[in-house]
Amino acid sequence: MKKVSLVLSTALLLLCPLLTSAQSNFSSLNAFSKSILKGEDQISLKATGDLNGDGLDDWAGVIHRGGRGDSSPTYQLYVLLRLPQGGFQLAEKSIEEEIPGMGCCWAEALAIRGSSIYIQNNAKDASTMEAATHQFKLYKGEWRLVGLKILLTDFSTNPPSEIDTDMNVLTGLVIERRQKGDNKPVMKTRRKKFATRLLKDYDFSNGFGNE
């Protein structure tokens, strides 16, 4: 009996990589949705476009999971690559992160352009509104944060003022544009050393990658 158990255990260990691989491949986007969505879960944002230069339309989507029990609702970003033979393969996914309460923060938009994923998150309080757009790309074999743009609008001033900061995470170039109402904008550039941040660690916070 021990010999049989040992044989079965060995077989399961050998099969584990195959099972994991099978869970990462889907015959269609509908098959992916059925495998990942439970209960009131939904795809709140989605986008298609070529992410790896093979001419095929890949897919990115934000899964909004409703809170179960005492848990809060969450966001999670998924990236699927289209396979030449058909179907899709899970290329990467972010961490699953709780959505802050009171309606202060939300995922606003998702797009694929120029082989990059752009995801915009908004945050607001009584006097300010901040829109942060993170740019992720397959760079040297890793799904990396390569760009970040933050637009901060302050409604407490009269007229309202804006600070638009565009950051190239790879080169370290930061371009800042400040403007109050219709006045002439003031531009400044500087350099900053950014840490390497990966899509798999993305937590939907506006400050991700700008620590």
Q: Does residue 186 carry a pLDDT above 70?
A: yes
Quote the pLDDT of residue 11.
41
Local confidence band at 72 (pLDDT 50, 70, 90 cut-offs): confident
Dihedral over alpha carbons 170, 173, 177, 178 (to 10 degrees) = 100
Q: Does residue 4 carry a pLDDT above 70?
A: no
Quote the pLDDT of residue 199.
98
Q: Does residue 64 carry a pLDDT above 70?
A: yes
Distance in angstroms (rounded) separating the CA atoms of residues 20 and 77: 19
- Give percent above pLDDT 70 in the chain: 86
Local confidence band at 23 (pLDDT 50, 70, 90 cut-offs): low
Distance in angstroms (rounded) separating the CA atoms of residues 27 and 53: 21
Quote the pLDDT of residue 163.
97
Q: Is 34 left (phi over 0), alpha (psi -120 to 50) or beta?
A: alpha
- Bond prior to 159 in cis (omega within 30° of 0): yes
Q: Is the pTM of this model over 0.85?
A: yes
11-25, 51-65, 95-109, 155-169: least confidently modelled range: 11-25
Distance in angstroms (rounded) separating the CA atoms of residues 66 and 58: 26
- State the Cα angle at 129 between 188 and 70, rounded to 5°: 135
Local confidence band at 5 (pLDDT 50, 70, 90 cut-offs): very low
SS3 208: coil
